[in-house]
Structure 1
């Protein structure tokens, strides 16, 4: 049945479906809830504070990375933002057309592109980030400061596990083979 289901209902259905599988339920719940929480928070922020500034989540993250790190190469911005360089190209072009970001060739290597915030982009981030942070406080309102620190530390350890050991694990799982290229989801017409 289509429509919204609560997290409790989703967990109940998964438990019923997977009752006979030898799985690690706590780990499954942790990873599933990382995804659910990330999606819920992203949707809330896009539909509230970012909507008023006509920003997507990805556009905001790109501006955030350049705001915090200063002038940066596109490859570094894409990596920090968790997006492909191709996606960054489109996002950066949009932000540049809005006068928020400037793209320029690297002075020492013409193959590289540098991104910097414009004065307008700097002003936007100074105005939007406090409102964004208020919504961060809203979505974590049911947690104490200590619980927020604990959650942040736990999630940081998840990220470090993947960053430090993920490549070796992928190598093991793929029996030494390179991963297949990603597909867009579109399949060739027959």
Structure 2
């Protein structure tokens, strides 16, 4: 008889132990230690932003996360296409990482950012887009290469509405006269 009761005794003991411990394993203090900053994790992200019936930019990213608290997407391998001018010209900007806040119409990309517009190639360590002013701010080892010219600077600003680029801080310009050198520079 005792041999039949012992297994039930152990089962009952373990059930009481687990029921007794269960409420303490997820106390509010323990829940605070769990990182709940990411509200959504996504694969294959596509976003668009528009103004006055026209798309101002569209974004594609390999993957990312969304934070409800900051209202920002944190992105891996983002590519943003900015549209400007009457004929809807395209400026493509690529980077390993970035973040976008659609409510504020702002984006930041980093490191080793590359942008392309027709035969112009732009490189920078960090790029910030501010939609209200329609300006793109480039920072850190900025390099602009077009046909037979290379411009390097500490920073630059692309004004999409005025269709201008202004380089500042230690600006250096090199002009090449030979076609072979131009091809070599464009490959870099």
Larger RCO, structures 1/2 (Cα 8 Å, 6+ apart) = 1
Taking structure 1 as the reference length, the TM-score comes to 0.19
Higher fraction of helix: 1
Based on CA coordinates, which of the two structures has the bigger radius of gyration? 2
